[in-house]
Amino acid sequence: MTERDDQVQLVVDDIQIAFGGVAALKDVGFKVRQGEIFSIIGPNGAGKTVTLNCINGLYRPSRGSILFEGKTITHLRPYERAALGIARTFQKIELFSGMTVLDNIRLGRHLHLRTNLLSAGIYLGPAAREEIENRDFIEREIIDLLEIEHIRHKIVGMLPYGLQKRVELARALALQPKLILLDEPMAGLNLEEVEDMARFILDINEEKKWQVTCLLIEHDMGVVMDISDRVAVLNYGEKIAEGTPEEIQKNQAVHDAYLGETEEELYVTRR
């Protein structure tokens, strides 16, 4: 991809935030281009999740700014950022465990609802048509894509962890996002599940009907180096490197801070 400004979708501009006097992020900045997979890596406590929390509005940086599609969003609340097309999955699964898979995914469509509370309550006319449209979109576009037809009526809390991760991705996709923030989507998955999740991420990024920009936090270096267009590295709240996977692999500062010394142990790709 080129560096043209019209391809830049997200700009994180020198943000800083501290908790209890301890700086969690120190002037962290990067640009994410439309349609790419941009990964953030680093050791535990480096500030990766804090960065995502600032982007989707859970935290507000004390300094710096965040722009999405040319609009400053630093002051916006999470639901306002979601309305602009920013979706999120979490490191710890945040699903309603007592509800079905389908009902959890339907919650992700709430920003697309057009009927008012009264119409929705009596479930007639426009409300009924809207429900049919949303149900059709979920079944046809999301459930089929993520291969979860067989569990759509199951209670989420009764599902294996790997399938719950898939349901959380499905709920984020129900928003029909332009940008999706993925916080360790491979964590806790076995090898087969990791390969499936990587394939799903590539699908939503590359398929014409989705083409979602992905901002990924992940510790699995095989996945990161295999599917990312570019990678940023954080260490103690500071960005120490940014570049293509190949450039990051060759960066000595990254090796010293995070990746270790033996390339053979770190860059075994899954293809």
Which among 53, 55, 112, 58 has a CA at the least distance from the CA of 86? Answer: 55
Q: What is the pLDDT of residues 60-107, one digit of tens each?
A: 999 999 999 999 999 999 999 999 999 999 988 889 999 999 999 998
What SS3 class is residue 213? strand
CA–CA gap between residue 198 and residue 102 (Å, rounded): 22
CA–CA gap between residue 64 and residue 75 (Å, rounded): 11
pTM over 0.85: yes
CA–CA gap between residue 1 and residue 34 (Å, rounded): 10
Which tokens belong to 1? 């991809």
Domains of the chain: 1-85+177-271 (3.40.50.300), 97-176 (no CATH)
pLDDT at position 131, please?
Answer: 73
pLDDT at position 265, please?
Answer: 44
Q: What residues of the chain score a pLDDT lower than 70?
A: 1-6, 113-127, 259-271
Which among 62, 83, 65, 64 has a CA at the least distance from the CA of 73? Answer: 65
pLDDT at position 124, please?
Answer: 53
CA–CA gap between residue 6 and residue 92 (Å, rounded): 34
pLDDT at position 200, please?
Answer: 97
Query: Are the C-beta atoms of 28 and 47 separated by less than 8 Å?
Result: yes
